[in-house]
């Protein structure tokens, strides 16, 4: 969605404790153990990091905010804790809200687009997020040029998670509402695949 005016790119984790509780039994005839009541000191409980996902598109007003809101919506429905954000390669749309056609399609499907202001990807995002998912191969290439050493493996193409689909997620900005519907369907499919992967890793 550069529209010929794209500028160059500018080169919290939440933690939760596992609900599972260990039980340590004392030997027969020994003094009662303070750990016998299905509990252990908090310092012994495993620390599980909430997965964090950043979606990337060109201007951060169509594709990436749609993926953002869909993952939030689906994760909430399944009870999965996840940190989600979205950002742009270009700074052209910085400060703008989501495209009204993206908002309308989400609303048509019963999903309220969260309050969102487009922003450009930052180098600090590569430390903050576990997965940085570009909508096109070009986005991924730009992200790799920006990525600090050792963070390149976090970058993935969105359609890696959309079973049966390869290549880029097309930019609907140049089309009509029909294009927004088709892209919404594609993103919905990919987000479902991503969520399934996150759930499997959380088990």
What residues are labeled active site?
A: 57, 63, 171
Dihedral of the alpha carbons of 100, 179, 82, 14, in degrees to the nearest 10? -50
Name which of 54, 66, 52, 70 is nearest 1 in CA terms.
66
- Which parts of 8-72 are beta strand (E)? 15-17, 47-49, 52-57
Taking CA atoms, 187 is separated from 18, 125, 193, in Å, by 31, 22, 10
85 torsion bin: left (phi>0), alpha (psi -120 to 50), beta (else): beta
d(CA 11, CA 4): 20
Q: Report how far apart the first and last C-alpha atoms of the chain are (Å, whole number).
A: 38
């Amino acid at each position: 969605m550069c529209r010929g005016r794209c500028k160059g790119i500018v080169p919290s984790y939440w933690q939760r404790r596992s609900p599972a509780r260990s039980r340590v039994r004392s030997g027969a005839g020994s003094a009662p153990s303070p750990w016998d009541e299905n509990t252990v000191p908090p310092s012994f409980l495993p620390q599980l990091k909430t997965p964090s996902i950043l979606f990337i598109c060109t201007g951060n007003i169509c594709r990436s905010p749609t993926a953002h809101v869909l993952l939030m919506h689906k994760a909430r429905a399944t009870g999965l804790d996840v940190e989600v954000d979205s950002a742009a390669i270009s700074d052209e749309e910085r400060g703008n809200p989501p495209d009204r056609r993206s908002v309308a399609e989400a609303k048509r499907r019963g999903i309220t687009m969260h309050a969102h202001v487009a922003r450009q990807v930052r180098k600090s995002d590569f430390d903050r997020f576990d997965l940085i998912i570009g909508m096109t191969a070009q986005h991924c290439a730009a992200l790799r040029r920006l990525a600090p050493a050792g963070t390149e493996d976090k970058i993935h193409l969105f359609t890696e998670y959309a079973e049966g689909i390869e290549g880029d997620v097309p930019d609907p900005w140049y089309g009509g509402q029909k294009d927004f519907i088709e892209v919404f369907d594609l993103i919905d499919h990919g987000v479902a695949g991503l969520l399934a992967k996150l759930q499997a890793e959380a088990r």
